[in-house]
Amino acid sequence: MLERLAPASPDALLALIKLHAADNRADKIDLGVGVYRTGQGDTPVFGAIKAAEERLVETQASKSYLGPEGDMGFVEALMPYVFGADDPSMGGRIQGMQAPGGTGAVRLAVALAKAAGVSKVHLGVPSWPNHAQILADLPLEMAPFDHDCDDGTANIEAVLGAIRGAGEGEAVVLHGCCHNPTGIDYTPEQWREIAEALSDSPILPIIDLAYQGLGYGMEEDAFGLRTVLAAVPEALVAYSCDKNFGLYRDRVGALYVMAREAGDLPAIMSNAAALARANWSMPPDHGAAAVRLVLDDPALTAQWLDELDTMRARMRQVRERLAAAGQVGTLDLTPLGSQNGLFSMLRLDKEQVARLRSDHAIYMAASGRINVAGLTQGNIDKFIAALGDVAKE
């Protein structure tokens, strides 16, 4: 029976990783893999996480199961940073559970929406590829709209049109900040417009907050999410700690549910737990426990926030340098300075991307997405010059 399976299409990013590894050129540049890198090209373990892990080794008394909801101490410790310190549960209307990474949180959010009657999901494109793959796998109808405009700004009319035209049984996925893959976020005023449109629509918001702290700061990057939640009766939030705590391989995420009434949460969360049980049974504990220890200790929290500030400042410096280059051949790099997070999209065709790889040892996704953290003071001038070569007038 198994021999009937046809080969699946290879993952393009994994293939790119192999090509980069096999390239012997000393000046090769990897802009494909979506992880943070220092100016020396490393993806370090946060010092605050290291300290928490040492404490965990010394104090953890058991490796027994925690249940499908995971480490609730982690879930609750994170809530003030996501929803605000004044009333993180929104009067008891918000409850959460742990998930294996942001991917698990998105999967669980969409599955829960489907169980509640959602059959169509609106999604701005381009988007993180797993969004579409999860929708197809469940399956749910995907209704795409254009996320960005040709000038490097968000297409606010497209998202407002999708929301205003939606009916019962529909949801919309919104990136909370640091949009993947474009780096183009909604402005505060645009978030207010989105929140107002959502307040007048039966559509269910699903907000994917995977990069909080990597844009302008923890509070600033939560603005869109909090503005929406203040305007709507219910919402789902998928959260990832993989990037802002550097816990990629430990898969640390959470799903949060905001219900119309606090009394609705027990039934909702029982359905979420049943879906989690069928998907992964119990989430991995180690990374979430480390985050909990960091957030429970003021000194470790301060250390973590300092480390996050350093990451954000480095990416902002790279963006400013790219923006300062201005027009490079047919490419205008200026908009990259006002974009956020790890990623941006360059308007290059596949042939130009291939030439960057063959002629200049620069590796990036065929879509034109780059990870700006792959650029350093030592290679950014080479990158800009290479863009000028492949994108000649």
Active site positions, annotated: 128, 208, 243
Alpha helices by DSSP H, listed for the chain, are 12-22, 47-59, 72-83, 101-115, 129-137, 156-164, 188-199, 218-221, 223-229, 265-279, 286-296, 298-325, 350-360, 380-390
Tokens at 378, concatenated: 């030592």
Is-contact 104 280, C-beta < 8 A?
yes
Three-class secondary structure of residue 142 per DSSP: strand
CB atoms within 10 A of CB 66: 18
28 is written with which tokens?
A: 């090769």
- Are 240 and 250 in contact, with CB atoms under 8 Å apart? no
Q: Which of 201, 174, 172, 173 is nearest to 185 (CA)?
A: 174
Give helix 298-325 / helix 286-296 axis angle, nearest 10°.
100
Amino acid at 83: F
Exposure of 25 by Cβ count < 10 A (0-12 exposed, 13-18 middle, 19+ buried)?
exposed
CA pseudo-torsion sign 228, 232, 233, 238: negative
For Cα atoms 246, 248, 254, give the angle at the middle one, nearest 5 degrees: 90
